Structure 1
């Protein structure tokens, strides 16, 4: 590594650390959960406000900015080779805050060199880090061969229609990485399968059933309102009972997490469903549906639904139930599965329908195949080699269950800034969970890694 360059980057980070954190806080302060479209805001006013703030920050850093009709935007550094460009892509939309926070989720706070708030890790913190990456490159004064764009998406969490719009109106970058996962480099992502398990109209004892804030997050709380007598009900672990208008509110208390890595989570919807079954708080139609929910929630590997499978590059399938709600007298459970190359969407749908029988219907199914790029391609080598040089490690590329923008580009990977061995503090939580947290040092180090990786990528003949 060039020692003089290394020292210049370190000096840049020291000089810009506090302002970078303030800028992350300004972006976190905007509730950018998807909402109904408005003029100039295809994914709602919050997402548009977050995009505007991102471009405002980029402009203040001295970068050229472009707004693509509110779908997406980017900051850009010019290069001498026209027609080709490198890109990074982050997103400034977030999942709903949910409950369980120890402070305001949209007021970023610092504690023991960690920052907490919705989006600090997924993906507003990394978004600001990429803007400072471009600022650092500009201040270094290194002539660029390829222009570099830092793309800011607004619809990653709920559909990725933003990047589809962008690619319909712009040529794809010759290489792109998204800071929306873990280091060192993710060169493959599992397939995605989504659907809803819908009950018939049961006319039974369950008057309400709700839980979860996002389809792709394991809920840590859920509740059902049932016609029952408190005196006849038994206590159970992680269940509380409350009288409510002559009925009983059954609450489940679980442990949240991301759908892509549900190991160690406890789904509160499953807790409530199992309690209702065990205590007979259902008629026959409701029982059949609750038994379907039991099959779903009994295993995040899909064993209860008969869809468990695994392969070499990706490992085992995962599946979770994200949101539970009632609509027109029917109970609806959303599902999110991440699957390896050993199955496909059609096989999963057929197996689930066979497993649920007449207890529920499987509706609103969609699926996307896994993607995989060989680890020894030049751009991926540039990323992994840079990471190992900066950290002194000897890591290898990996695959994951998470879904990022990378799958939409012809040559792209996800590249940090998380670390697989990151240990959360007692006061912090994971992305998509309460008290979402990010280590300040890791965000700063990611800027150095991205600066050096982009300089190395500039040398490749694309």
Structure 2
């Protein structure tokens, strides 16, 4: 029996294991002993290792940080590296985000595509190799991460205790094959204010869930005397822009709610940024604090609804990976401070200084500081690299389509683990629901991924 025929026979088990993991709400939480990223990721890791043991794999749990399932013998190993943690579910779901409901051939839930379904596919791909008794010269590991969405700190822990694979992939991006990943920065813009006094005070602005998500909701609270004047301006603004923005008067305050559309922070053009849409309206109001007015003016003039940092002065572009992406992910303005979390991703052939120096120039003399700066260098594998060529060959054999090389703005484990490239699970031209409401994976694609990953790991391990 062939690998692919064996996978077809395991179809129901692959689906059930995916659903089991999707039902676990594996958001990062408060750390405790043996649970460095909280209860949810720990439970998901335990479940993944339990499934692996039942399938006949040797398993290891590295103190709750990360774990793996292993097959074969030898010093060297190849790997599929995926993550079990997820981003917050957000609003707008038609199905339980942690229900694993199957409707019209689709499994719905947070993590179905990013990344629980694909790492289950890789696991069962190796199960097919194991059951068929195919000869391999290297061990194969399926590595289960638990902190990819909020820092990938578990891989530092892993590499302090385990040597890296000699080759492999992370099923956490797009097909045909990712050989370039943009440089990623996440940082806070912090502005301090004097205490606000007067008849028109901006008490709060808060919105967004994570730096790497386009915010789908932002709210503000204004304390004012002339509430009717603000509501009139709001109505005119909504008529002119079409933005989903509503206001409600409550005990001398106006509460504003702006709704946008969530998307991954690496592709802000696929969403609609509710924070900056609300900032746009706030710029139509004259507040009692000139500091607040100047700050809102700066946000609108230097960021606005830009997607590529044009007005911020840090626009970059190259042939390999395209334009810099610019996402305002979170805002928290209250009392005498505003903190805005930005996620900027720059092209693979550019440097951090190319992006950061003009950004610093834009902030000069504005009283806005950069804090909590996090950076990942770009990743780029040339087209003649052996790993690139091997994965291209498998994709072409399994799909019958040409394996064009692409670069992405999303950061994957490939930046954290040597000898790894991002490979699937998203097929060209299909809807992208990652980090969005109603995330799903089709059963057809789950099984198709299993076949591709099985053959890729077999090729690398031979």
Tell me the TM-score normalised to structure 2 length. 0.93
> Match for 1:398 among 395, 400, 406?
406
Cα 1:196–1:282 change in 2 (3 A) is farther
Please name the residue that 1:149 is paired with: 141
Residue pair 1:200, 1:285 contacting (<8 A) in 2 also: no
Residue pair 2:49, 2:67 contacting (<8 A) in 1 also: yes
Which structure exhibits the higher relative contact order, with contacts defined as CA atoms closer than 8 Å and separated by 6 or more residues? Answer: 2
Deviation at 1:150, TM superposition (A): 0.1
Deviation >6 Å, runs of 4+: none
Please name the residue that 1:305 is paired with: 312
> Match for 1:369 among 365, 372, 377?
377
Q: How does 1:182-331 map to 2 (within 5 A)?
A: 182-204=174-196, 205-228=201-224, 229-233=226-230, 234=233, 235=235, 236=238, 237-281=243-287, 283-294=289-300, 295-326=302-333, 329-331=336-338
Deviation at 1:117, TM superposition (A): 0.7
Alpha-carbon separation, structure 1, partners of 2:193 and 2:118: 45
Please name the residue that 2:64 is paired with: 70
1:323-347 deviation line (CA, Å, top 9, x unaligned): 1124663111100011014543334
How many correspondences in the alignment? 446
Tell me the TM-score normalised to structure 1 length. 0.93
Residue pair 2:204, 2:334 contacting (<8 A) in 1 also: no
Please name the residue that 1:50 is paired with: 44
Deviation at 1:16, TM superposition (A): 2.0
Unaligned runs of 5+ in 1: 425-429
Alpha-carbon separation, structure 2, partners of 1:300 and 1:61: 46
Alpha-carbon separation, structure 2, partners of 1:282 and 1:274: 18
Unaligned runs of 5+ in 2: none
> Match for 1:100 among 87, 92, 105?
92
Partner secondary structure for residue 283 of structure 2: helix
Partner secondary structure for residue 122 of structure 1: coil
Residue pair 2:180, 2:348 contacting (<8 A) in 1 also: no
Partner secondary structure for residue 227 of structure 1: strand
Deviation at 1:300, TM superposition (A): 1.0
- Root mean square deviation of aligned Cα: 1.7
Please name the residue that 1:441 is paired with: 444
